[in-house]
Amino acid sequence: MEIFEIKVPGIGVRYDFTTEAGDRAGIVIRRDGTRDIVIYDREDADAALGTIELSEGDAAAIAELLGGTTITVRLEQLRHDVEGLAIEWVVMPKAGGLTDQRIADGKIRTRTSASVVAVVRGDHAVPGPGPSFEFQAGDQVLVMGDADAVAEATRILTG
Amino acid sequence: MGHEVVVASASGPLAAPPLVGDVLIELGLVLLVLALLGRLAQRIGISSIPLYLLGGLALGKGGVIPIRAGDNFIAVGAEIGVVLLLLLLGLEYSPEDLRDGLRSTWRAGVVDVLANALPGFAGGLILGWTPTASLLLAGITYISSSGIIARLLADMDRIGNRETPVILSLLVMEDVITAFVLPVIAVLLVGATLAQGALAAGLAIGVVLLAFYVAFRLSARVSRALHSRSRELLLLTVLGITFLVAGLADAVQVSAAVGAFLLGVTLSGQVADEVRSLLPPFRDVFGGLFFVFFGMQVDPRTLPPVLLPAIALACVGVVSKVATGYAAGALAGIGRAGRWRAGYALVPRGEFSIVIAGLGVAAGVEPQLGPFAAAYVLALAVAGPILMRAGDRRRGR
């Protein structure tokens, strides 16, 4: 799908696209973070038939519904950009592995060359957790590196 | 535009200074009248600007209830109103918006100037006005009301429309061009000789260019320096800088309004976001005073003689703006229906036309200018939104 970016002076940016089924739609991202989903008239390609106004929270929830958080989308892009880069979300097990242990205890970095770049716990995220960060059961751990290293790191994390 | 204040205080009934109580009572009455008119405007779904002007006509000299003691405060409040109106207008745009707008719509911008400023200039000359007064009238007929149009586009759910960026870019363009022309007009109004005038105008335009350069280059740095987490400190800082810049701009004949606009463009990022949410209530109060003050300076008895020419010029103004919007839409590859929508959307004239007229009224350049501008803006601030809605209904929506 091709997406066109159009600046809307004093308001923000609009992204236009046509779906495979031929429907034209757009998303206006306002400077204050609210987003409008716009559906265009099939008869008059310039006019909005209707607009759905979304708060930042609404937009995040809908992005989730539509498949993949915005983080995932960006990661996909990164994976695309760096050939051979593997990115894995690892969910910490109830017990075993590194659950209830510190990052430093696993020596992931030295043993595998992969990195733990972020941890999502409940509804907040810890970007770049330090060596003394302690994993808890259910943490979603983002591991990055080459494919072998990530597989090895996953094994260390989940035991 | 500081001249307004001076003129008002010179002509005001200041033999005995009015009692503080009287000033407060009259100010209270003026604000209450504004509140009532604002409610009425909301009820019937039109912009409040024309009603504020009518309120001013009723309260001013020769009006139904002439108000005098508050004159001075209202004059100062009006001046603050202009500065805040223009500051917030500038805040709506980032330097990138200006650059992109100029790049993408300059052709339509030229059409806009030719189609809308020339009839005003010609109209002024036909009425027997001086070239300077005619130039002011050209500005009044040229500039669409960003305030009215932006609000209507949002109300009518047109932000996502493909012709909307075209409309907004044209408005940006008009504001930038006016920022360059106002200093020239300000110099002409002082009545300088041609050589002096050219020198002063050159200086003024140099200052505006410098300000644009600062806006583009130092926008982020200035914004960071002014920022504060405390709303109180942020407000004090921004208002202080704004009045200082506006005053200095006025002192070098660039016009306070232009100074405030350029400062608004310069501010960006977090400061801009917060000021945009903090200042609108102030703007609405003082902006209301500005429109009332303008109305108050116009004696209603001077309206009838200019009514017919003003309405004739307003009709020309409708046609020329619709044609401009249609052409701009065509240049941007918008479909036929969208071109018409762009055309009707550009019709409303409002705050900036009154700002320009205010300059001339303060300088006393042409006695008919005030009433003429009032009638013209009244007509188009009311007719514009109606036409815009009618344009929508024509499509059966």
Closest Cβ opposite residue B159 in set A28, A31, A46: A28
Chain A: residue nearest B329 by CA? A46
d(CA B27, CA B9): 16
pLDDT given for residue A56 in this prediction: 81
- State whether B334 and A46 contact (CB < 8 Å): yes
Where do runs of H (alpha helix) occur along A66-146?
70-81, 103-106, 108-112
The answer to whether the CB of B348 falls within 8 A of the CB of B174 is no
- State whether B165 and A7 contact (CB < 8 Å): yes
Give the model's confidence band at A81: pLDDT under 50 very low, under 70 low, under 90 confident, else very high: low
The predicted model scores a pTM of 0.74
Q: Cα angle vertex A47, ends A42, A52, to 5°?
A: 95
Q: Which residues pair with A137 in a beta bridge?
A: none
Q: Is B297 helix (H, G, I), strand (E, B) or coil?
A: helix
Neighbours of B290 (CB within 10 A): 30
- Is pLDDT larger for residue A107 or for residue B67? A107
Chain A: residue nearest B99 by CA? A9
Q: Which amino acid is at B39?
A: R
**Contacts with B370 (C-beta within 8 Å, 6 or more apart), sequence order:** B294, B297, B298, B302, B357, B360, B361
**Contacts with B339 (C-beta within 8 Å, 6 or more apart), sequence order:** B163, B325, B326, B327, B328, B329, B330
pLDDT given for residue B24 in this prediction: 84
R_g of chain A computed on alpha carbons? 21
The interface predicted TM-score of the complex, written ipTM, equals 0.71
The minimum CA-CA distance between B100 and chain A, rounded to whole Å, is: 8
Element (H, E) at A32: none
- State whether A44 and B162 contact (CB < 8 Å): no
pLDDT given for residue A72 in this prediction: 59
**Contacts with B29 (C-beta within 8 Å, 6 or more apart), sequence order:** B67
Please enumerate residues of A whose Cβ is less than 8 A from a Cβ of B.
6-11, 14, 16, 26, 28, 31-32, 36, 38, 40, 44-48, 50-51
Predicted confidence (pLDDT) per residue in B342-377, tens digit? 999 999 998 889 989 988 888 888 899 999 999 999
Closest Cβ opposite residue B157 in set A16, A32, A51: A51
The answer to whether the CB of B260 falls within 8 A of the CB of B83 is yes
Q: Which residues pair with A83 in a beta bridge?
A: none
d(CA A135, CA B25): 68
Predicted confidence (pLDDT) per residue in B7-53, tens digit? 344 444 444 566 777 778 888 888 999 999 999 988 887 788 889 98
Residue B135: exposed, middle, or buried by beta-carbon count in 10 A (0-12, 13-18, 19+)?
Answer: buried
The answer to whether the CB of B310 falls within 8 A of the CB of B131 is no
pLDDT along chain B (397 residues), means of 10: 40 56 83 92 84 88 71 84 90 81 86 94 94 92 90 85 91 86 80 71 79 79 82 91 90 83 84 87 90 88 92 95 94 90 93 89 88 93 86 56
Q: Which amino acid is at B166?
A: V
pLDDT given for residue B122 in this prediction: 96
Q: What is the mean pLDDT of chain A?
A: 83
Q: Cα angle vertex B65, ends B38, B56, to 5°?
A: 40
Chain A: residue nearest B166 by CA? A8
Which residue of B93, B146, B157 is the best one to mutate when testing the A interface, meaning the one whose CB has the most A CBs within 10 A?
A: B157
pLDDT given for residue B11 in this prediction: 43
pLDDT above 80: residue A148:
yes
